[in-house]
Amino acid sequence: MAQTFTETIGMLDLVIGHLDNAGNAATLTAKGLAVAATKTRLTAAKDNLVQLDAEQEALIVASQNKTKELEAATAPSYIDASGMVDAIAGFYGKNTPAGKNILELRANIRRGPNPAPAPPSAPPGP
């Protein structure tokens, strides 16, 4: 099972802290562990994770800001296009077939071109 970012940083800190202890380092070095190389490797892994997390957080903020930008631009764009539908219908004449057609196109944006079919009836019970 993969551990969370926080758990992994905690584990790295724990192991690096253990290796930073002079007594532990001496004992482990005597038993054949390359303590300095291990600390360097684990510290580099932690630094990489911290950097990736910071980049991810920046992307989240950028995404939220871009969403706000998109939402701010969407309403005026729709209002502009909808106003043009009214204007075009006015040029055609609202009650002409062409005027009704352009108005119907706008109405279909949300509800779709045809009403949704009725759901099938429930099968008869036993």
Q: pLDDT for 14-51, tens place per residue?
A: 999 999 999 999 999 999 999 999 999 999 999 999 99
Between 5 and 112, the more confident residue is: 5
Cα-flanking dihedrals φ and ψ of residue 113, to 5°?
Answer: -70, -25
Instruction: State the pLDDT at residue 109.
Output: 86
- What is the rounded CA–CA span in Å between residue 65 and residue 81? 25
* Residue 117 pLDDT exceeds 90: no
* 26-40, 63-77, 100-114: segment of lowest average pLDDT: 100-114
